[in-house]
Each structure stands twice: as C-alpha cells, then as structure tokens.
Structure 1
C-alpha cells in the first residue's frame, strides 16, 4: 500500500502528470541509513544535495550528517557547493539600558512584544536576547542582575511562541554559565557565548546539552579599544587558528561539534580594517565543519565609510549582509530584520539558481 499517495489524495492532490503543478507534495529525504531506488520511491531523495531549501533546515538539525550513498561529504560540505545558499536571519533584542545601538529602547513588555512580533513577521528565524552590554566601556553586571532582566521576558516569549509549530528559535546572549543553565532549563534553543566557551563550567554545560551553542572569538569581554589583535597580523589567520585549536579541544571534551556555531567576533578585539578583512573572507571559516554566524550589524567600525546615524548604519550593514549571503554564511545577526529580509528576497531572485 502506498501510504504517501493516500495522504496526498486525502489532502486534495489528484493524479497529475509527473511535473505538473500540485497543491501539496510529500518527499522522504532520508530514512536512517536506508538506500532505496524503485519506480515509486527513492531514498535518499534524488538531488536533495543540490537544493538550498532542503539543505538549510538540515544544516540546523545535523550539519555534519553524511547522506547515505553520497560519499563522505557532510550536509555542510554540500551546502558550500551551492551557488545560492539560504541563510538564517537572527534578530537582535537588547534588554540593556546601555547597548551601543539601541540601549534602553526595549525594557518594557509593551516595547518588546511589538518589536519581536515585527521581526518574526518579517522572517526572523532566531531571536537573540541579551541583557548585558559588551560594548567598549560597558560595566559588567552580576549573574543575578542579568537574570532579573532576562527571566520575565524569556518566560513570556516562550509562553507565546513554544506552542507554535513554525516558531522562531530563542537564543540567549550570555557568557555567565549560571544564566545559561537557567535559560536552558526554561526551554531556550541556543546559548550565544561571546566568550567562546572559554569557561570550564560553560563547556561542561555545552557537553551535557543537545542545544546549539554559538562560540565567538574574542580578545576581551567587554570589548576594549586598547586591547586588539596586533595591527600587523592577518586577522583571518589568527581567528582561524583559534577556531582550529578550539575545535580540537571541544572534540576531546566530548562536545558534539554539530551543535557548534562559530562567530569570528566582528569588532571584539579587532580594529576597523581587521573587521573588514574578516567580513571579506567569511567563507573561509565554513571549511572547518561548523556553521558560521556573522554579527556585524551597526558596529562602530562602519563609521569609516558611512554616517553615524542608525538608518545609514542599517543600510551599510545591509550591503555587507548581501555580500555575506553570497559567501554562504549560515546565520546573519542584525538589528533591522524587515530591511534585510526584504532586500534579500529581491537579491535572491536575481542570483543564479
């Protein structure tokens, strides 16, 4: 009995010709290690490794997965070969009174809810929530202070979005292990650690978790203008060497590398030219078997080639973001989600399929 055909018929699909338009379609992409090829069903699905709309969700689930019958390449390897790789968009929600761009704008639920709703409606796949500023000169706060800002907002966002089938993932931007632990217990999907999992307690938490972890390269937390990479170094070489060292360390510690997302740390211990070079060569980091996130939005180094107002910074950020799309970056973290997703749709429809 063809269960797939039965379901399609119940959903209103008739027996059209093979390539005719149809109201719905069911494909089985993978079934464990099964390889099947007959007139009715092919598993793995033929050509799945050539389709961005298939690989993008698989990247979020298991980026290091090898497709049975297709050799040693991983999902991440296949996605690197696509002319058009589809990124995930991460929207920023700062609950801080002193963030460099929008500090103090989102401290009450009446401000927070419409802002998050607008990002989700515009196509944000992830909402990254931070409650401690890491800008240059920021004053560090305690675990208790950070959690007092985060907890009520997380509880309301989780209550609102968790029941939804197609919901945004919720990420917490913290380098405090105790805050990360509490956030995971509440039910968040991602921990965004700007200290690159440098804390033994944070690494231990990551090893025992099945959630995703963003590990950022940094020089100091908070960022300091007087503490940067040497001016005569190649920042891409330095950051790449750090990543390789960490990957070896994380692997030995038992951390599931499929759950790691790497952030080169634009503006964190890099001067303006070094940040630009990291953006220019973002694709280079994708060859190491982990997903790559870029967080360049409204960063101060953009004043070197744009005005200081927020609108112009958003436009400059957008220009860089479309270049990152072309480089195949997996996750792009920005403040202005509606501007980015609208521009991306126009850009994506003109690039080669």
Structure 2
C-alpha cells in the first residue's frame, strides 16, 4: 500500500490524479526487471527509463538542471546539461556497474532513428545506485535488450514502484527499497502547475528513518538489519528525477532540483559519506524549443520563452520537497522481503508495521 492509502498525508500540498511523476503531461516511465539466476549467481537488477515528453526528446528538448548533494555516485550527460541547460535524451536509472551499457544502448537506439546520423550526436543522461548486496553486480547483467524493453514500454499512467526496473535490488533505511513516485499539483492561484518525482531509493539508516516528521525508525530496530553481517548501514545512494510543466529556465530547474535535499532530509537521509545523492529536474513548460539536430540550417536565431517569476516560485519548491518525501516512503512501502545470495533477509516494511511504529511515536492520522 502507498502512504496515502494508509492515511499518511505528508505535507500540505495536493497530489495529482496518479500521485506520480506521470501526472506531468507527456512524461512516460518504463521498466525492465531482472529477477533470475545466471551462472549460479543471484540477479536482482534492471533499468528504468523516463521519457520527458510525449515525443522524441531530441525533437522536443526541455530545460533542465541538476544538483549533487553528495557525489559518491556516477552519471553521464550532466556536464552538457550544465553547459547548455537542455535535456535532449531520455533519462535512465540502473545499477552502478551497468551505467555504461545503458548509455551506449541509448546512443545506438538514437542512431537507429536518424536518417542521417552524421549530423547529430547525443550524450544520454544515465544515473545509478548500488545494488551489490542483492545482485551479482560484477556480472553486469543488464544488456541492450533490457534498455530497449524499458524504452519501448515507457507509458504514461500509473507507475510501478518498489523492486522493479533499476530499483529491483535496492535497499532503503535497511528495508527493501527501490522505485517510488509522487506528485503535487499547485492551486490555480499558485499557477496550477504540477511537480512530479521519481526516486530510486537505496540510502539511509533505519534508526534515522522519519515519516511525517516522526522518528519511526527507532521503533523498528527489532527487525533484523540486512547489514548485520555484511556492509554498513546507510551505504548506497538515491537518485531523484523531478519533472514539472511549469515554464522554468535552466537555472530555475537547478534550484528545483536542490529542493530534493529537503525531502530526503525529512525522511532522515542525506548525511552519509558513502551515498551518491544526485538530483535532476526538467521543465516542459516551454513547448517550442528548437530540436537538438545540429545539422539543420533553418533553426531560428531566437526563441520566445516564458518563465515563472521568482516571486511565485516558492510553491514549486515546497511541492518538490513534499513529493520527494512521499516518493521515498512509497518506495519503502512497495518493497517486499528479498534474500541476499547468502540467505540474509532484506525485509520489506508493510503498512501495518509502519502504522504501529508511527502510533508508538504519538502520531495520529490527520
């Protein structure tokens, strides 16, 4: 069950219809999930792909910006976003050792769509978190076919959460983690825009877990930790993708991405040296940006743009923080028990157990 199905309402904002990143019109999400054994090894991994608009990203670029809270992680394509302010490719999230093959496959797929690939190049954005406790990460089992499957299956509508796609082998606050999503829709008086979030949550210590501001982790310590015999609690990372239909410029997207830090902090994360905390935000509000086809000679010299006045941008920041907070909780609640190769249990956190811990802190449903 998701947080709101349990009566846990995080923050003051209103979710979109799906309470998902796909509440932002045009955004699509696809997963490819590997749960198998290969050469005697346990494989629990995959790839998740986000398409930023209804069409090809190259033909419909978005303004974008990113923020790094802690850099013990890897990503491709971010330097060009920093320089150009444009997102011109799909986004993909996978495990640490599969980042390269996912990037290379996205390039190959892009080439297949071009009549004349000599006039264009691309730098796909791929991000990662570590799933080596549950997955044979050294085997690099994510292949081109899985990237193709995730991209071909990217759709709008409800988003699968938990142990799917890139989140298949992830652990969050010492519980089974993975993919989570949420959204906030601003009132008409605030602009009426939507902020949607998708996280790949693989971070945090249990004793620091907070839900709705309450220290629930301290009341869940009797549940065995998967790190008791291997690894260190808190090791891992979190990737956050934020989407909005507000007309934000690149530097405003970067400011929006920074607010992911607040949502992570509210749930008790963001303080580990071994965590790679990377956030990217893109905005679809400007619809007519020139396509990223650098061989064209008829592109306009200038493009009219809209932007949110900074005096009215604060509600978007609040929406981002709340949606990230809720997406992390949803990722944990979607997790189900999974064993490591050595038979160590990575426990899922079911809704009733979480409610019991919340009530033990003095929490009452709103």
Higher relative contact order (CA 8 A, sep 6+): 2
- The higher radius of gyration belongs to 1
Normalised by the size of structure 1, how large is the TM-score? 0.24
Normalised by the size of structure 2, how large is the TM-score? 0.23
Higher helix share: 1
